[in-house]
Structure 1
Amino acid sequence: MEQTQERRSNTAMTAGLVLACALAALFGFLYFNARQDIDSKNVDVSQKTKELLLTNSKLDSIAVQLDAKIAEVQALGGQVEDLQALKAQLEQDKKNLVNSKSVSIKQYEGKIKNYELALTEKDNEIAKLKEENAVLTTQNETLGNENTGLKTEVSGLKTDKQALADSVYNVGVKNKELTEKVTLAAALKAMNVNVNAINSRGKERDGGEYKAKRVDKVKISFKLAENPLTKREEKVIYMRLLDPKGNVVSDMATGSGTFNFGGNETVYTSKQTVMYDNSGQNVDFVYSRGASYEKGKYTIELYSEGFSIGRGTFDVK
């Protein structure tokens, strides 16, 4: 009897030990999985923090470069409104990076590339502005030297009136040439002139070559080049559409007219007033002829402020 009870006691003890070992193994397994999950999350947080710090550092670097560009352009007498607007946007992006709960690093990488591209473009503009300023400075120094020579000549050669008159005339001619050069440098320039065709249902086609029956209207699109010498103001742009025979397509009843170019009265097809803001803005002309287009090559000519600013062509089959 006692032996039977002793066996039962040993069996219970063995079962208890087995159960305890099983529970210990289960808790160990759960602890190991939980620890791995925590370690994984810590790695993700650490990586995210590194990416945020690197992105913020890049934005700080771009901000420093923007400040330098603004100071340099101001010293050269150029316009800095676009750079200041870019700087304001950059500061807002920096605030959003710090304060936003959900940040897309990929989106910020795209923003950084755009900022870097803008800095590169501004470097090209600054180089051009420096070159133009250097030319103007040299020309002004030349004129200053010539004026000094004239003053000396006037004081020393009072009796030679004809020689003095000739010298003054020459200076006037050179001043006029300088003014004309500055005016030419500030002229608008139309870039990437493209002509699309619009059919009677309003469907637009591109490519520069269109069937006559599919041309109800033409859309002339171009980009006004950035130029720090050009005033930011309203500009009147004249568009001339020349048919394959070289004749101007015009209808005074639908907005055509004349303008002065090279001292001559010139007929235009359509005109448009735009506010030039030195941003590389896009401009579109949509012209409805009201008649079918003959087959052949058509030419688009663009003018503003007495200058030819661009041209393009398209073919009608």
Structure 2
Amino acid sequence: MSDQKDPVNKGDRNKIYFLIVVILALLGTNAFLFFRDKHEKERFVTTNTEKDRLKLEVEKIEVEFDKVNLMNVALTEKLQNEQQQARTKIAELKKALQKGDVTEAELAAAQDELKKLKAFLTDYKEDIGHLEKENTYLKSERDSLATSVNSVKAKAIDLEKKNTELAAKVKSSAALKAFNVRILAYKVKNSGKNVEVSKASAAKKLTTYFNIIPNQLAEKDYHKIYIRIFDPAGNLIANETNMFEADGQEMQYSDMISISYNNDDTQYTLEWVNPKPFIKGTYSVILYANGFTMGKASLDLK
């Protein structure tokens, strides 16, 4: 009687249980797949975020090296080699991080290399800082030395100028100076006797008489005395080959004698025979010794 009251037979009940189990299994599988995909997506996002962060950090480090290069610091060979090694490592890291898929192991390795690069950059910048300070100190020392050298050069030039001026003054002070300079005109008789004249038509030669001012600085030795004679028209009477230097320029002279100077009262004479007839007017003579003007005189001939 009980079997007739139950609308679901035993076979149908077993099918229902089986379907329930299948449904539960499917739900469990879907849940597993959902959470697994979610975890993978989260891991992918985390990995990509870390990869992007590492890329940014590497680029920052590269920029820091570029800034160092812009500093006006001459790098030592050691620092140049170290920078080259660091840039090689940066290039390798950038290449590794540009891959589409980066494993966690590769990411961990990149993080480790980045830490090493940061530590190296810190030490490298410290070395550059020390080098820059040394260069600044050396530049300061060099500038100071250059200033000292320039100062010494300026003093040397000034001293040389003063020595030159002093030498010129000494030379000028040691030069012979004449006084009592006078000129007489003479004609020469057949007997050879000189007779003083005042007329140009009778004159044959001029004789210049002079004394030398006592001078303790003047050298007691032979000195050359040069004379320049000008006619009444102001023309120099001289041989073109007779050249000497005085008062800072080269000029012609009419005649020259050598005297023995002993710093005494000796009177000196210089005779000059006119190669052409004298003319009426004033004849002027200028004496020179030791490169300076020695004395002057003039004579009127009627």
TM-score for both structures, normalised by structure 1: 0.46
Larger Rg: 2
Q: TM-score, normalised by structure 2?
A: 0.48
